[in-house]
Structure 1
């Protein structure tokens, strides 16, 4: 009997799962069918709207058909379009109203709306196109409602504006409210007030449709287009990891007008408030590949960097990476008053008109990259070069760690010494600058709490060892570099390797102690180790003296922790620095492993 009950339970469970699966499949089919008519918009935690638009019919006619009532499209598109639609849909003149139209060469285009009682519909529309005075296409989403609301509102628009502002976290922008009809999914038609609200802080802009008889929010139009870029995401290092298309990667706290606008200027190119990405001349930009700020330019690794598609890909990737660094560094303190790079500072202080100019495939060199950092108020200039160790050659703009390295020079040169660009000029300070740049590139590449060894420049050189002498590592076997190794070095890059490796170990200690956050780039309020690291990284820059040394740079990190975290990480930091010779009594490039006695 027990065995029978077990079998019966299994059968019932299988039937239940089958029923659930069947229901899920049915819902999936329904959801798929709704793709052409519905869209769920999550306005806020408390407001979710399922927006409806009547399904459109669409016809094309090849070389064209002649309109039986008026074979030729006269200059008056209004009357011609209305008569065609009336005959095609079998509606009377009072049901159709001309919206707009234009002529382009031998083609004409007209757009109309459905009407009732003299009031237009929001989402019941039609469009007609002619070529050589013959109709070549016709689309329509007119409806035959089962009920329609009265045309005289009983709720005033002014009485619901504050409700709309609260629901959409925005402000009414003063645009005159409208009165229109809205076709709904159940076949009814509602009379609605149209009210525009905006929130410039988060770059939102909606036209909201409120029932003119009940005051209920029924639907909305989102005016903000989704910008997308085919790029290497910031946490990917090299092209072989695969490009992705990212939608709206901008952080509107750091870039309140987005990446393509400043003041009254908007662009559809790799030109914006924070970054200008070009090749050869500052007017040689990449334009959107489709409307709505779509930059879809995949890189073809088998082709030369100089192909048109690859140039566009390089400019797009450089634009994306430098903007992304701008945005996350902003959240950690590299703001307008801290001498960052922006054309428009939005009245927040600092000197403006100094966005980063990044020259991809720069002709002035090969196998390198650099960043020039003038004082606040003058644009930083990043030059990215072609690397010639492979056939075909490889483009430095498609290796993110190189772009991050260069942009970090702008951050460290600006934040050290008060925006002068003059305070990382000694050999040791210059070496620290190279180390910070490698360390921030390292920071962007971590994908979990596992701290892996980091190699810089392996893609462009086609060399797993990259362009440094050793990987950055917590292993003293893999990387034995210590403070004392600075002695005798004159190359800032070799000196930088030592500082970057020390910071790699500091990072590892913080993550081991506090964990790791996947949202560190946009949420600096967390307590995880990678967040703590980046706070201390930037905080120390503004604390340290002009032309710092290893010892004073280390002291600035300890002080930064005291300032921000009340010294909670003091002993951890001392142990990490001391483990690589930069202990309490380190000086003159002589290792010291001492830490404070209370640690």
Structure 2
């Protein structure tokens, strides 16, 4: 049983939603796809709005207006298709970014007016290898009124307003001028500035009305894993430490883990990640020459003891680098907006390795990850847990580190590297679910798919931190698509999505078996290879602020792109088994699958 103290942090967030506009199970929950309540402080709550996304997938693909032009660029093809599909003049469409992956090309555009882009009216187009459009998502708007495109207040005044409202300081990231579509159908002109609070860890992108100075909305770059309930299992120090020699995959990290191609280090810092306590100068140094980082952790001593602290820094460094190398092989590369200081000429924006603060002093019994746009470092904070004496260190529980790191993957790949496209209640919930599912993926060691429990070590509780184990058994885990209608908090909603993905994983492994080399060889055809390919492919295909249904459709389309639909029925049956069938709508279950399945 958890004490009231242990539940407090998670209960606060649940109360925020229950006391706001999202308390009723059916009518209000319809807003999960477009709204989210943010509690900025005890005195301020903001309900952010994100235009509803439409989403279509096209199986083998459809032609676009420039299909017959062999010399048409991805930018030209994308703008032409969006213009023809939405009936919007091409001069109202601003190309943002795009890249070629092995099975598709993806591109991202923004709506704009008078040369000013909309922050939250975006579209994404995916092209198959035969130059046909295979997926299209859009949240473009037709405003009933639109503010003048010349600001009335200065950016300096907007920064002052954001700092005062949000309780932080401007971090000097260049401000932009963008339109913001509002829930009443109008569009406001906003100065967009970033505000951070070093003490609380808050990191907001603030949209300040450029005519009134009011903070209208925020993007919250911080995704918190508020371990609030009854959990699941994961690899941790109770499984024993091992000394691994040269674990880096140089196909993913050609400079190794301790160099950016120019500067080499003998500390827990490199091209992909830096781990430290307190300040980035407080890394762990090699324990002996030759890049040996061998520290023996003593569980009977406080985690702050020197050897224990160094062990935590080294473990977090290892886990984040390992996930970088795995994801790189499956498509999370420089051009796909990953985290690296030196992108080695492969596209994307550089100087954004992950920064990891271990034993962060800002909190306990938690962890979080902040994901700004490509070109700014993702930031992970790992806390101590006080359920036991001595306390335990979240950085020594791999599932927690993987969970947090996955927020960086999903926030970067959804929407084209903006960090803005998992901001609704439903999309934020799926963000938590993807993170749990990824942690589970790393822990499988055979074709067996047992029930999975998160974070047992830090809580010293075999039940973990979630309401149910993730399971193929509906009696062990009863969560279904319709469960969302009774939930109002992103971690609870995330459990529904993670459990669906647990069932998808089990179905794929049952159909194709298990590969023990999937972490280093993405070319395999086993079920765990297929799962991770579809997991990462679908992130790029899905629309900004996806729903369960559009994310499911992105998985189906990803399979059409990569495997010619070979797993279509396997996927549909797995999703439908938990209520997300063809006709699932508005958090009402449906178990229908397409004909032939």
Structure 1 pair 417/350, CA: closer, same or farther in 2 (3 Å)? same
* 1:264 Cα deviation after fit: 1.6
Which residue does 1:568 correspond to in 2? 566
Name the CA distance, whole Å, in 2 between partners of 1:338 and 1:348: 10
Say yes or no: does 1:539 pair with 2:537: yes
Q: Deviations over 1:1-54 (max 9, x none)?
A: xxxxxxxxxxxxxxxxxxxxxxxxxxxxxxxxxxxxxxxxxxxxxxxxxxxxxx
Structure 2 residue corresponding to 1:283, chosen from 281, 284, 287:
281
Decide which structure has the larger Cα Rg and report it.
1
Which residue does 2:240 correspond to in 1? 242
Which residue does 1:484 correspond to in 2? 482
Which residue does 1:441 correspond to in 2? 439
* 1:488 Cα deviation after fit: 2.9
Structure 2 residue corresponding to 1:453, chosen from 451, 454, 468:
451
* 1:288 Cα deviation after fit: 0.2
Which residue does 2:363 correspond to in 1? 365
Name the CA distance, whole Å, in 2 between partners of 1:566 and 1:301: 50
TM-score, structure 2 as length reference: 0.61
The equivalences for 1:203-218 within 5 A come to none
Name the CA distance, whole Å, in 2 between partners of 1:487 and 1:513: 32
CA contact (8 A) 2:508 2:528 kept: yes
Deviation above 2 Å: which 4+ runs of structure 1?
Answer: none
Matched position secondary structure for 1:382: strand
Matched position secondary structure for 1:413: helix
* 1:263 Cα deviation after fit: 2.8
Structure 2 residue corresponding to 1:420, chosen from 414, 418, 421:
418
The equivalences for 1:169-188 within 5 A come to none
TM-score, structure 1 as length reference: 0.61
Structure ranking higher on relative contact order (CA contacts 8 Å, 6+ apart)? 2
* 1:236 Cα deviation after fit: 6.7
Which residue does 2:261 correspond to in 1? 263
Which residue does 1:404 correspond to in 2? 402
Q: Deviations over 1:470-496 (max 9, x none)?
A: 100011111011000000311100000
Matched position secondary structure for 1:246: coil
Q: Deviations over 1:92-130 (max 9, x none)?
A: xxxxxxxxxxxxxxxxxxxxxxxxxxxxxxxxxxxxxxx
Structure 2 residue corresponding to 1:578, chosen from 569, 576, 579:
576
Matched position secondary structure for 2:243: strand
Name the CA distance, whole Å, in 2 between partners of 1:536 and 1:299: 37
Structure 1 pair 347/572, CA: closer, same or farther in 2 (3 Å)? same
* 1:238 Cα deviation after fit: 1.2
Name the CA distance, whole Å, in 1 between partners of 2:413 and 2:314: 27
Q: Deviations over 1:522-555 (max 9, x none)?
A: 1111110000000000000000000000000000
Which residue does 2:350 correspond to in 1? 352
Which residue does 1:378 correspond to in 2? 376
Matched position secondary structure for 1:553: helix
The equivalences for 1:23-34 within 5 A come to none
Q: Deviations over 1:490-521 (max 9, x none)?
A: 11000000000000000000000000000001
Name the CA distance, whole Å, in 2 between partners of 1:441 and 1:374: 22
Structure 2 residue corresponding to 1:293, chosen from 291, 308, 312:
291
Which residue does 1:104 correspond to in 2? none
* 1:598 Cα deviation after fit: 1.8
CA contact (8 A) 2:234 2:453 kept: no
- Number of residue-to-residue matches in the alignment: 365
**Superposition RMSD in Å:** 0.9
Name the CA distance, whole Å, in 2 between partners of 1:330 and 1:264: 21
Name the CA distance, whole Å, in 2 between partners of 1:249 and 1:366: 31
CA contact (8 A) 2:234 2:454 kept: no
* 1:298 Cα deviation after fit: 1.8
CA contact (8 A) 2:234 2:440 kept: no
* 1:358 Cα deviation after fit: 0.4
Matched position secondary structure for 1:276: strand
Name the CA distance, whole Å, in 2 between partners of 1:448 and 1:264: 40
CA contact (8 A) 2:234 2:455 kept: no
